[in-house]
A and B are shown apart, each in its own frame.
Chain A
Amino acid sequence: MELILSLGIGVLVASGVWLTLRPRTFQVIVGLALLSYGVNLFIFAMGRLVTGAAPIMPKGGFVNPEAYADPVPQALVLTAIVISFATTALFLVVIMASRGLTGTDHVDGKERSP
C-alpha cells in the first residue's frame, strides 16, 4: 500500500509540475489540479496508513490509540480540498476572462513571436 500511495503521489506531482510549466492556461489549470490531488494525498498519508480503523474515539476512559486512525490529517485534508477547489474555480474564471480579453489562451496573453 505504501508503495502504491507514494508512486501515486509522485506521478501526480510530477505530471502536475510539468503541466504547470506549459504555456497554455488550460494546461496550467489541469496541472494545478493534479498538484493539489498529490498534495492532498500527501497530507492524508502523513496520518500514517492504517486499514479499517475509525478516526473517532469513543467518549471517556482510556482507549488504545493504536486501534484508531489519526483524525487530524483527515480534518486538514478536508479543509485543503475545499480551499483548493474554491481557488481553482476562481482561477478558471480568471482564465476565461483572460481568454476573452486577449483572444488567446497563452498564459502571457499573447503568442510568442516566431
Chain B
Amino acid sequence: MTLPVHMLVMPILVPLLAGAIMLMYDERRRQLKLSIGLVSCLLQLGVAMALIDRAGGSAVEGRNIVTLYLLGDWPSPYGIVLVLDRLSAVMLLLTALVALPALLYAGAGWHRNGQHFSPLFQFLLMGVNGAFLTGDLFNLFVFFEVMLAASYGLLLHGTGRVRVGAGLHYIAVNLLAAMLFLLGVSLIYGTTGTLNMADLATRIPRLTDAERPMVHAAAALLAGAFLIKAAMWPLCFWLPNAYGAASPPVAAVFSLLTKVGVYVVIRLGLLLFGAQAGLSAGFGSNVLAAGGMATMVFGAIGVLQAQDLGRMTGNLVLVSSGTLLTVVGLALIYDDAPMLTAALYYMIASTLALAALFLLAEPIGRKEGGIAGLLAITAEAFGLDAEDDLDEERAEQNRPIPGATALLGLAFLSCVLVVAGLPPLAGFLGKFGMLSGAIERVTVLPGLWGHWAFVVLLIVTGFCALVALSRWGIQSLWANTDEPPLPVLEILPILMLIGTVALLTIEAEPALRYLDRTADALTRNQVYIGGVMTAPPVGPDPS
C-alpha cells in the first residue's frame, strides 16, 4: 500500500481549504466559487475511493484494516485520532457521491439565491467527513457543530418566511441536542476518564457497579442527541418541515445528515454495547428497535398525508432512518450480521434515491396545473418570486433538453422503485436482504415478535411509499402534457445519482461482499479496538 501518508486527513482538509479560498473572493464571482467547489468535491470522491480500498485491503483477502492518523502525534488512546475503518470509508464515499450532484444542481441557479452558498456547502462536507473519521467523542461534538452551523446557513439559504420559520425550529432543536451531547460526553469523561471511543469500549466491561449506571445515563444522553439528528420518533417532528422548506440541493445533502446520526448510533452502539460489553451488552437495544419501528410507522403515515414531493421525501427520510435504527437495535440484541449488511446496502441506495427525489421535486413542480399548481402556491409562500426572473434568465443560459417529461418520469420511476423496494434496483436487494435475514433468524429462534413486526413494517412502509409516490407521479407527470423547462444542469445530477444506484445494483456482489465484511467487523468490536489501540499510526515514524 503506497498511499500518501496524509491521505486520511484529506476528507477534512480539502473542503476546509476549498471553503477558505472561496471566502477570499468577492460574492459576485459565483462561477469561480462553484468551480472550486466542484473540484473539491471531485477530489473528495477520489480520496474516498482510495480510502475504501485502503480500509478493505485487497478485495480477495477481504481484510479489515483499521488505519490511524495521529493529529498532533500523541500516542493513540491519549491523543486525538482520526480512525478509518470500513464503515467510515463507506460513509465517506456516500457523502462524496451525494455532494457532487447536489453542488452541480445548485450550479443551475440556486447558488445565486443568497450569499456564501458554496463555502457553507464545503464546511458542511468538512463537518460530515470529520464526524465519520473522528475516533474520540469530543471531536465528534466539534465536527457535529461544524456540520450543524453550516447546515443552519444552508437551510436559511434563499430566505423567505417559511424557511426562516423552519430554520428557527431547526436551530433551537439542534442547540438543545448539542447540550445533551455535551452532558453525555462530560459525564462519560467524569466516570471513565477517557473520551477515545476504542479506549472507552475496553473499559465498559470492567466498570464497577457504582460507575455502570452513570455510563448508561451518559450513553442515554448521547443517544438523545444522536437520535434527534437521526430523527427517531418521537424526536423527529422537526424534520419534514425543515427538509421541506430547504432549497432542493440543500435538502439533497441534508438527506446525508440524518445518516450521520445513524452512523454514530451504529458505531457507538455496536462498539460500546455489543456482545462483548459484559453486563452492559445490548443496552438500549429495545429502545432503538421499538423507536425505529415507531419512526417507520410515523414516516409512512406522513408520506401518505403529504401534499408535495418535498414533504413526501422528508417523510421517506424518516422511514429510511427508522428502518436502519430498527436493524441496529435488533443487531445489538441478536448479533445479526446478515441483516446489518443488507441494512448498510439499503442505506446507501435509499440515501442516493432520496437525494435524487429532493432534486426532482423542483423541475417536475415547475409544470403548470394539478398538484404542480399547488406546488407553485407553496413556492410563492416560500418567497421564491425572484426565482421566476431567474428561470427565464436560466432558460437562455442552459438550453432545455427535449423529451423532458419522459426523462423526468423515468428518473422519478427509478427513485420510486428504490424507495419502495421493488425490483430490479438496489432498494429491492437491500430490503430483500433484511427480510431474509429477519426470517432466517425467526426460523431458528421462533417467537421473536420484534423480527416479525419488522418484516411486516418493512413491507407495509414500502407499499405506502409506492401508493403515495405513484399517486403524486400520475397527477403531476401524466395529468398535463406541456414540457417543463429542464436545464441540463438540473437533470444531469439527477441522472448521476440514479446512475450510481444502477451501478450499485449491477455491482451488487462486490458491494455486498465489502459491506458483509463491514458488518462482520462491526459486530466484533475487537477489530476496531485492536486497530485503534495497536495499529501502526499513519504519519512520520516516531523513532
**A residues lining the B interface (CB < 8 Å):** 20, 25, 28, 32, 35-36, 39-40, 42-43, 45-48, 72-73, 76, 79-80, 83-84, 86-88, 90-91, 94-95, 97-98, 101-102, 107-109
Contact = CB atoms under 8 A, between A and B. Distances in A.
A98 B164 contact: yes
Nearest to B152: A90
Contacts of A43: 182, 185-186
Given A20-B176, A39-B183, A90-B152, A107 B164 contact: no
A66 to B, nearest CB: 14
Contact of B187 (A20, A46, A47, A72): A46
A73 B164 contact: no
Contact of B171 (A45, A80, A87, A108): A87
B172 A20 contact: yes
Interface residues of B, number: 30
B423 to A, nearest CB: 44
Contacts of B186: 42-43, 46, 73, 76
Given A20-B172, A40-B182, 16 more contacts: A20-B176, A32-B172, A32-B175, A35-B179, A39-B182, A42-B183, A43-B185, A73-B189, A83-B142, A83-B178, A87-B145, A90-B171, A101-B160, A102-B161, A102-B164, A109-B165
Which 4 pairs across A and B sit closest by C-beta, in order of nearness?
A46-B190, A43-B186, A46-B186, A109-B165
12 contacts: A39-B182, A46-B187, A76-B186, A83-B178, A87-B145, A88-B175, A90-B171, A94-B156, A101-B161, A101-B164, A102-B161, A107-B172
Given A79-B142, A94-B167, A86 B182 contact: no
A39 B165 CA distance: 27
Given A80-B182, A90-B152, A108 B165 contact: yes
A87 B156 contact: no
Contacts of B187: 46
A65 B156 CA distance: 48
B71 interface: no
A110 to B, nearest CB: 9
B149 interface: yes
Given A72-B189, A79-B138, A90-B152, A102 B145 contact: no
A10 to B, nearest CB: 13
B169 interface: yes
Contacts of B185: 43, 76
Contacts of B190: 45-48, 73
A76 B189 contact: yes
Interface in B129-148: 138, 141-142, 145, 148
Contacts of B178: 83-84, 87
Interface string B164-203: 1101110110011011001101110110000100000000
B280 interface: no
B159 interface: yes
A87 to B, nearest CB: 6
Given A47-B190, A76-B138, A79-B142, A97 B164 contact: yes
Contacts of A87: 145, 148-149, 152, 171, 175, 178
Contacts of A72: 189, 195
A80 B156 CA distance: 24
A39 B187 CA distance: 11
Contacts of A25: 168
Interface centre among B142, B145, B148 (most CB of A within 10 A): B145
B72 to A, nearest CB: 13
A8 B168 CA distance: 29
Contacts of A20: 172, 176
B440 to A, nearest CB: 45
Interface string B203-216: 00000000000000
B169 A86 contact: no
- The winner among B148, B168, B195 for most chain A CB atoms within 10 A is B168
A94 B171 contact: yes
A73 B142 CA distance: 14
Contacts of B152: 87, 90, 94
A48 B195 CA distance: 16
A34 B189 CA distance: 23
Nearest to A16: B179
Interface in B299-341: none
A95 B168 contact: yes
A43 B195 CA distance: 13
Contacts of A46: 186-187, 189-190
A46 B449 CA distance: 41
A6 B159 CA distance: 42
A94 B156 CA distance: 9
A43 B176 CA distance: 16
